[in-house]
Amino acid sequence: MAMPRFQWSVVTNVIVALSGLFAIGSAISAEVNWPEPVIPAGFGVNIHFTDARPGEMKMLAASGVKWIRMDFVWGATEREPGQYDFRAYERLLKSLDEFGIKALFILDYANRHYDQGLSPYSDEGRQAFARWAAAAAKHFQGRGILWEMYNEPNIHFWKPKPNVEHYIKLAIEVGKAIRREAPGEIYIGPATSQIDMKFLEACFQAGLLEYWDGVSVHPYRQSAPETVLPEYQKLAELIARYAPAGKKIPIISGEWGYSAVWRNYDETRQGKYLPRQWLTNIAAGIPVSIWYDWHDDGPDPKEPEHHFGMVAYPYHEGQDPVYTPKPVFIAARTLSTVLAGYRFVEKLSVKADQAELCHALKFEKNGKIAIAVWSQQDGQTVTVQLDLPAGRYRVTDYLGNDRGVKEVTSVPTEVDISDTPLYLVRD
């Protein structure tokens, strides 16, 4: 986790930089079918289980997510040297398949049989990790899995302490092994805590973009989701500088959430930020956006790590739903259902005081138009002018409440917005 404003006027530059980057392709990555900017194809959530409790996967799917991100733990799947047991992940994939959900698996952590149980640092440890990773990718090849190289190696998850040189050597070894044993699989990294430019550039300089199909980062912050855009722009420019000619390498938002008990945060603000985060990402060309976390990790009312979830911590066996949904769950479900199947088209021009803090995104589906519009100004109602095609728009708020119908008969038209997305869908 990490904490640390920016002007949304840079969004056009960000999208231009990213779209220029995404237009590139290569022999290795030409077959990667990244999710299209269609809601909710790229939305996902982190989980911490291989065997869902009864009713859990049904509820998770009801949030609208199409991806899960889960640790694929070395020590748990190679309990004896050279012997791999992937049955737990077979069960997980089977349960995901029932609901049309895909997996991002994190190739992570250590194994007691190698390098004293520390993150791999020797040739023997790296080779063992690479053999295991390649065996996993080969075992599950063709399942559409995203294989991610480790989790936040730039902070304490790399034991005994972060070491970018050791990480690079391991990531290259794994890349070679996967390309050799399962060349069609998608390999991404480095899943940094925040957007750590120094760590990322070291990886790129060492040639890891030769192997990676996507660059994953965890853009945690205790500021509004839209503040990520200048960092995305810098990262896109850095990728473009080091990417092999003709290779498509998108940015992946692999883990990002807000704790409901951070200072000045609560479940209401958390619920406001999820749809803004996902909409910001989809407008910036980010094909996969993973929210952290699925359910709260504990009951301590003061522990931030316990309150990132879409749903509360207690499991209610035999009830429906099996977890108590938080506003963030309802916000995810609303976005994923109200705009289901709509493709992002463009960011609309907004006329208003402090227009740079007001955002309107246009989506289309089978000739129908939908608009998502909101403001960054906390707790304020703002009147904006938008150039909308004439018609009758059904208005829904971010929690799924019906806000009636808006008849658009002239251009521009005025819309009252707040710091939560409003969805206008033309009949």
- Tell me the pLDDT tens digit for each residue of 384-401: 999 999 999 999 999 999
pLDDT (mean) for 134-163: 98
Q: Is the pLDDT of residue 156 over 80?
A: yes
pLDDT score, position 353: 86
Which run of H or E residues covers position 405? strand 402-408
Tens digits of residue pLDDT in 196-242: 999 999 999 999 999 999 999 999 999 999 999 999 999 999 999 99
Residues 343-426, CATH architecture: Sandwich (2.60)
The first and second tokens of residue 110, run together, are 């250590």
pLDDT tens-digit readout, 73-119:
999 999 999 999 999 999 999 999 999 999 999 999 999 999 999 99
User: What pLDDT score was predicted for residue 218?
Assistant: 98
| pLDDT, tens digit (0-9, with 9 covering 90-100), for 235-252 | 999 999 999 999 989 999
CATH class label, 8-338: alpha beta
More confident site: 67 or 2: 67
Token digits of residue 425: 């869908």
Is the pLDDT at 67 greater than 90, yes or no? yes
DSSP states of 134-178 as a string?
HHHHHHTTTS--EEEE-S-TTTTTSSSS--HHHHHHHHHHHHHHH
Q: Inform me whether the pLDDT recorded for 16 exceeds 90.
A: no
- DSSP character string of 386-404: E---SEEEEEEETTS-EEE
- Kindly state the percentage of the chain with pLDDT values over 70: 93
DSSP secondary structure code for residue 412 in this structure: S
| Res. 30 pLDDT band, cuts 50 70 90 | very low
Q: What is the pLDDT of residue 31?
A: 64
**Alpha carbon distance 157, 110 (integer Å):** 10
Domain extent listing, the chain: 8-338, 343-426
- pLDDT reading at 317 higher than 60: yes
421: preceding bond cis by omega (within 30 degrees): no
The span from the CA of 197 to the CA of 241, in Å, is 13
How confident is residue 32, by pLDDT bands cut at 50, 70 and 90? confident
Give, rounded to a whole angstrom, the gap between the first and last alpha carbons of the chain.
Answer: 42
By residue count, the chain amounts to 427
Query: What is the pLDDT, as a whole number, of residue 19?
Result: 40
Residue 425 has phi, psi (to 5 degrees) of: -115, 120
Q: pLDDT digits over 358-378, tens only?
A: 999 999 999 999 999 999 999
pTM for the full model?
0.92
**What is the pLDDT confidence band of residue 195, given thresholds at 50, 70 and 90?**
very high
Q: What pLDDT shows up at residue 20?
A: 38
Quick one: pLDDT band at residue 12, thresholds 50, 70, 90? very low
Q: Average pLDDT, whole number, for the chain?
A: 93
The whole-angstrom separation of Cα 339 and Cα 371 is: 9
> Cβ of 140: how many Cβ atoms within 10 Å?
20
Per-residue pLDDT tens over the stretch 165-186: 999 999 999 999 999 999 999 9
For residue 122, pLDDT beyond 60:
yes
Reported confidence tier of residue 7, pLDDT bands at 50, 70, 90: very low
**Are 381 and 416 within 8 A, CB to CB?**
yes
